[in-house]
Amino acid sequence: MFGIAAGPRLGHSRGMTIEIAVLIYDGLTALDAVGPMQVLSALPGASVKWVAAEPGPKRSDAGVALVADHALGAVPRPDIVLVPGAMDVRPAAGDPRVLEWLVAVHRTTTWTTSVCTGALILGAAGILRGLQATTHWGAMDALAKFGAKPVSERVVRDGRVITAAGVSPGIDMALRLAALVAGEQVAQTIQLMIEYDPDPPYRAGSPTAAPADVVARARRALTRSAAPTT
């Protein structure tokens, strides 16, 4: 679902800046934002802007605070947008300030991306209509409600929109995006620098690989926490 050779490239000219806007909000999953940004911030010329409807600290679902230094309107033309997910994206997906900003910036972005249920926020903004996309396995059915075509893949690219299924696919997506922006050698160098070499102790990272009782347990936990849909 992801071809490296076909996309536009940024960052090759000496001194060129790549503005990357990360949308954050209360309740987000911190790793959805921090993982990809650890990769993308290493791109030549990267300028990362943490943005929110209102500047200030945003508390993640694990209690970690990330700080938005910029209001949405202060970053009107980013080259790349990243929308992380949350256990419950309804507050962000229902915020007209967020949706209006996404619609506006998507007109001029080179890449518009999401991780996990961040895809549902893109969907609420109408950005995924008619496009193939992925999201957290527990929220795949919700994608179709926004006119998207759900695909059970770790990373899905449709044109200049790239969606990733969850935390580790978010890092995969960022590395593939790094290759589109600056070439495969740069992407591989970043991967080596962060020593991203996954070797999980269990094959339980997807509902197709995990034992049935583990899947059932995870579904119950997701339901108790908050439905990861809008």
Q: Say whether pLDDT at 7 is over 50.
A: no
| pLDDT score of 1 | 53
d(CA 118, CA 44): 26
Which of 18, 21, 24, 116 does the annotation list as catalytic?
Answer: 116
CA-CA distances (angstroms) from residue 224 to 87, 192, 218? 10, 38, 10
Answer yes or no: are the C-beta atoms of 203 and 173 closer than 8 Å: no
Residue with tokens 């995924």: 128
Residue identified by tokens 């009782």 is 213
Mean pLDDT, residues 123-147? 96
pLDDT in tens, 10-64: 444 456 899 999 999 999 999 999 999 999 999 999 999 999 999 999 999 999 9
pLDDT at 63: 95
Distance CA 179, CA 96 (A): 33
Q: How far is Cα 69 from Cα 98, in angstroms, rounded to an integer? A: 16
Map out the domains of the chain with their CATH numbers: 18-225 (3.40.50.880)
Mean pLDDT across the chain? 92
Q: What is the pLDDT of residues 139-177, one digit of tens each?
A: 999 999 999 999 999 999 999 999 999 999 999 999 999
Query: Which residue reads 């959805």 in tokens?
Result: 32
Contact 76, 104 (CB under 8 A): yes
- Model pTM above 0.85: yes
How many other C-beta atoms are found inside a 10 Å radius of the C-beta of residue 77? Answer: 11
Q: Is 42 a catalytic residue?
A: no
Task: Check: CB of residue 92 under 8 Å from CB of residue 33.
Answer: no
The two structure tokens encoding residue 186: 């740069």
The helix (H) or strand (E) run that includes residue 141 is: helix 140-145
pLDDT over 60 (residue 111): yes
| Euclidean distance between CA atoms 127 and 117, whole angstroms | 14
pLDDT in tens, 202-214: 999 999 999 999 9
**Above 80 in pLDDT, residue 102?**
yes
